[in-house]
Amino acid sequence: MTVCVHRSVSNILFVDDSAEMIYMYKYIHHDLKKDGYQHTAFFCENIVKANTIMEEYEIDIIFCDHQFSDGHNGLFFLKSIKTKTPIKKYLVTGDADLLSMPPDINYIIKPFDLDEIKNKIISIRK
C-alpha cells in the first residue's frame, strides 16, 4: 500500500547565476511569507548546488535560469530531473523562440512581472 503524505509547506528552489535575479526571487519569497504563504525557499547560483539541494530536500517547484555563465544549461538540467513525486518546473529565459519545450517544463520569458512568479507559486498549491 502506497501512502501519499501531503505536506502543507511547499519547497521552492530558485537557480540563477545572476545576483539580481536571486535578489528578485528573495523579494518574492519574503512577499509570499508576508502574505501568509507557507513555504521554504532555497536559492543557489549554479546547477551543482541545485543538485545537492535536490538530494537533501523534496522540491515541489523549481525556477531555473536557461543559460549559466559556467556553461551549464538550465533546460538540460530540468529535463534530467527524475523524482518519485512530480515537480513543477519553470525555465526562466530571455529566449522567446523556444519552440520545442518538453511537456513537463513550463517557461517564463524575461523580463517578467514579479507577480507572475508569485501567482504561479500560489496557483500550484490550490
CATH number of 34's domain: 3.40.50.2300
Q: Does pLDDT of 126 surpass 80? A: no
- The grid cell for 115 is 507577480
Question: DSSP per residue over 47-83, as a string?
Answer: HHHHHHHHHHS--SEEEEESB-TTS-BHHHHHHH---
Question: What is the domain count for the chain?
Answer: 1
| 3-state secondary structure at position 109 | strand
State the residue range of the domain holding 35.
Answer: 10-112
Residue 117: name the closest of 108, 125, 126 by CA. 108
Average pLDDT, the chain: 88
- Residue 82 falls inside a structural domain: yes
pTM for the full predicted model: 0.89
- Residue 120 falls inside a structural domain: no
Residue 39: name the closest of 2, 67, 76, 11 by CA. 11
- Residue 122 falls inside a structural domain: no
pLDDT bracket for residue 8 (50, 70, 90): low
| 3-state secondary structure at position 124 | helix
Over residues 12-58, the pLDDT tens digits come to 999 999 999 999 999 999 999 999 999 999 999 999 999 999 999 99
